[in-house]
Amino acid sequence: MAAMRELSRSISKLRPFPSIIPALFISYRGMASKLFLGGLSCYTTEQGLSEAFSRYGEVTEVSVVMDRVSDRSKGFGFLSYATEEEAEKAIAEMNGKQLNGRTIFVDYAKPRSRRGAAQQQ
């Protein structure tokens, strides 16, 4: 898994826009230890996620995405670890497991795509 990410990083250096590659490369490297958590219960809190995932390593950031109108969880969130190895261990151990009565989905977070990028091309 780590070898594939390293290969992807090497390939991204070859793209034709060298001025924007460093910014993309840095943001992708930061994503290596950031996880997407899906299928969360509406009762799952950031504190609860931090406690549940801290047994696999040092949790550096946690966020549960909330609905602005109802102020309830949208059922997904993000969690970051200090190292990529800790993130891999958490994925292996927590993906498909029960948390607050719901089976959760855990995977690497993907970089946000620019909105409207497809329309501009």
What CATH number corresponds to the domain at position 87? 3.30.70.330
For the entire predicted model, the pTM comes to 0.69
Per the structure, the complete domain to which residue 68 belongs is given by: 34-110
Please answer whether residues 44 and 100 qualify as being in contact, where contact means their C-beta atoms are separated by less than 8 angstroms.
Answer: yes
Q: Is the dihedral of CA 32, 87, 37, 61 positive or negative?
A: negative
How many domains are contained in the chain?
1
User: Is residue 102 domain-resident?
Assistant: yes
Over the stretch 45-98, which tens digit does the pLDDT of each residue have? 999 999 999 999 999 999 999 999 999 999 999 999 999 999 999 999 999 999
User: Is 13 in contact with 21 (CB distance < 8 Å)?
Assistant: yes
pLDDT for position 27: 39
Spatial distance between the Cα atoms of 60 and 110, rounded to a whole number of angstroms = 18
46 domain-assigned: yes
Give the pLDDT of residue 18.
44
Q: With 50 as the cut, is the pLDDT of residue 117 above it?
A: yes
Question: Has residue 62 been placed in a domain?
Answer: yes
